[in-house]
Amino acid sequence: MIKKTLFAFLAVALPALLHAQDASTPTPQWRPVYHFTPAKNWTNDPNGLIYLDGVYHLYYQHNPFENKWGHMSWGHATSKDLLHWKHLPVAIPEMESKDTTTWIFSGSAVLDKQNSSGFGKNGKAPIVAIYTADQPKQQKESQFIAYSNDGGLTYTQYAGNPVVDINKKDFRDPSVIWLEDQQKWLMTVAVPAEHKVQFYSSANLKNWELLSEFGDQGDTRKIWECPSLTPLYVDGDPSKKKWLLMVSSGNPDAATGMQYFIGDFDGKTFTNSNPAESKLFVDYGKTFYAAIPYNHLPEGRQTMIGWLMPFETATFPWRGQMSIPRDLLLKTTPAGIRLFQQPSAVLNASLDKLPASKKLSKKDVTINNQELPLNTANGFNTNTNWIEAAFTPGTATDFGLKIAQQKGGMETVLGYNTQSHELYLADMKGGKVSGDVQKLQVQPVNNKIKLQVLFDKSSLEVFVNDGEQVLTTLLFPAAGATGFAAFAKEGSVELNELKVWNLDK
């Protein structure tokens, strides 16, 4: 749960930043099609991600009443394919009593298969939510639990709350997993202002023991939030197990972002495998935040969803969206073991089912100092494209893709400069840069630059070289800015393969 002060700033600054955009004017042109958004009103962090009986549950920070931050509760949606979502009633609403307001901040959910908590009924395992109770009047955050006996639709608060309380104003975002070898639950929770996480264990989800702390390593320019600790096999090898510790903090430019650590966890202490000063980032854009992995996925899969923090441009009647679900992998690279991310493999089935009119494929095309238009009057012109492209650099100084093109107007260029080895994302007008340029150092792999580009109305996720690096941002194209092309500048490039899926409804 990112600092409330940020949202207070947005509330004050928004009117000046919106210009002609009325905050209550519907903006269907910017509502994503294949990324989750609530039907209406504000959303931020994903919460309680859990997979049960073939269904993916997504809980999320939600204001049920307004299209701005406030009245924090757990919204709820479900999906069978991670693409189409069913909206459900609020699962855990804010609590009000005579002298206390309790907001339901971020946390996780687990299936208590052995009924260690005793909350189960009629032999059926309960779902237990572990979350931060933020009590603004008391200036305190502590960890509460609640349980569900109806498949996660509604929750009952535990009478013995709080279950973890260190009497701090900022102490939040518990992530809980089951340690099979120890037959215990493990909680990872953030102490934001101190740039640290704490680890607790429990046999019953009610009584927690502090194990250890980890912090003051990596990037400490911003507060630490939304931690998670996840076991992964390096290169898919079960004999090479490492632990991925992710923390929401900043990106390389100290803007909104996340960092990660790779290390060992002995059931009590996390030990960083890299030097303390080493900084590793989950995403190189400026909007990816608060991502957490799913619990209870089959076959040891690890998949996370993040929140794409909204920029100053207002959307209505919703505000905020989730990232595409991302599979997490650890791979050995020349620089050491690193995090790789790919759009969830579960989504491939939905892509395969699309009709031929929604698919575009090209192979071995030479582009020589020109643009190759890829949209037509009837297709691939709705800014809902999922693009996979592989280029072999040639004589061109720059090559890549152009999206959100408007005739005689703006366009967004995702280009690669062969001299600086930079992948860059720039809004252009009349061939000149208009606004910020986001850059990323990228080296060809096997003499190729591979890009997966997920452009969905107002969100853009770019996975580079099979997910070695990811850059996520938001775009708000003008009406009619739906052009789409590949390009090469001052020379030629080989477009080895291009696949495009149009996911418009």
Q: Which tokens belong to 369?
A: 């100092």
Options 22, 45, 99, 134, the catalytic residue: 45
- Calculate ∠ Cα 132-228-259, nearest 5°: 115
User: How far is Cα 316 from Cα 259, in angstroms, rounded to an integer?
Assistant: 31
Q: How far apart are CA 9 and CA 409, in angstroms?
A: 32
Q: What are phi and psi of 103, to 5 degrees?
A: -90, 145
Whole-number Å distance between alpha carbons of 340 and 126: 33
Residues contacting 164, CB < 8 A, separation 6+: 142, 143, 174, 187, 189, 200, 208
User: What distance in Å separates the CA atoms of residue 191 and residue 132, rounded to the nearest whole number?
Assistant: 12
User: How many C-beta atoms surround the C-beta of residue 342 within 10 A?
Assistant: 18
Instruction: Provide the residue type at 53 as one letter.
Output: D
Active site residue 45: yes
Phi, psi for residue 28 in degrees, rounded to 5: -60, -25
Instruction: Tally the residues of the chain.
Output: 505
Whole-number Å distance between alpha carbons of 342 and 465 = 10
Q: Which residue type is seen at 63?
A: N
Please identify every residue annotated as catalytic: 45
